[in-house]
Amino acid sequence: MLQAERAAGELLPEYHRATPECPEPRRWRMYDSMTAEFEVLEFLRTLVTTLKPRLIVETGAFLGVSTLWMAEGLRRNGEGRILSCEFDPVVYAKAQEKISASELRDWIDLRNASSLAMQVEGTIDLLFSDSDLDIREQEVRRFLPQMNPHGLILMHDASSHPGTVRDAAKRLEAEGLISLVLLPTPRGLVIAQKRTAKSA
């Protein structure tokens, strides 16, 4: 959080280490190492305007930056809502303050809750799993029954943390639960879709 406050909204070169799929991370930009890469934020907004989701669920709001970018997409669409959660009460208070001060606040329902306990009603059109690295698999398993089979599941940090996030995504794929591709950004973004009897 300190790094984000020090950067004060200024973009820095991405400093995550090079990976085989993304050998030049410094060609990307970031606000801080917790918030998704700037280009991924742009991509999230574009996904929202492209897919027109009615319900987005995000796990791990941190300071609400990715939440606000997706909400911007909803505002352009003129419909939908984003339900996000932040587990840490201090971080949640900061994010809530920022969201409350934003014109995008009416599109966002931010909760001080764990992704593994938060109750979500209805069909999820877009799931962005970006909380604790070790629980991304549990999150996807938890929300999978509610996923729109034509919707998208995003799991961030699959390149920066191959042993946790990428392996989790591959396990879900090996079980036939999702089909996936890996976007080669500095931290890596899995884009997945629920597999149904029809798609199998």
Ligand X SMILES: C[S@@+](CC[C@H](N)C(=O)[O-])C[C@H]1O[C@@H](n2cnc3c(N)ncnc32)[C@H](O)[C@@H]1O
Q: Under the rule (CB under 6 A), what is the footprint of ligand X?
A: 34-36, 59-62, 65-66, 85-88, 91, 114-116, 130-132, 135
Rounded CA separation 40/51 (Å):
16
Minimum CB–partner distance for residue 82 and ligand X (Å)? 11
Choice between 4 and 195, CB closer to ligand X: 4
Alpha helices in 10-146, H assignment, sequence order: 38-51, 65-77, 89-100, 136-143
Choice between 25 and 60, CB closer to ligand X: 60
Minimum CB–partner distance for residue 162 and ligand X (Å)? 16
Q: Are the C-beta atoms of 80 and 107 separated by less than 8 Å? A: yes
C-alpha torsion sign, points 83, 89, 95, 96? positive
Choice between 44 and 192, CB closer to ligand X: 44
Minimum CB–partner distance for residue 131 and ligand X (Å)? 4
Minimum CB–partner distance for residue 17 and ligand X (Å)? 17
At residue 175, the 3 state secondary structure works out as coil
Choice between 87 and 195, CB closer to ligand X: 87
Choice between 116 and 120, CB closer to ligand X: 116
**Cβ-count burial of 48 within 10 angstroms (0-12 exposed, 13-18 middle, 19+ buried)?**
buried
Minimum CB–partner distance for residue 59 and ligand X (Å)? 5
Rounded CA separation 190/188 (Å):
7
Q: Which residue is nearest to ligand X (CB)?
A: 60
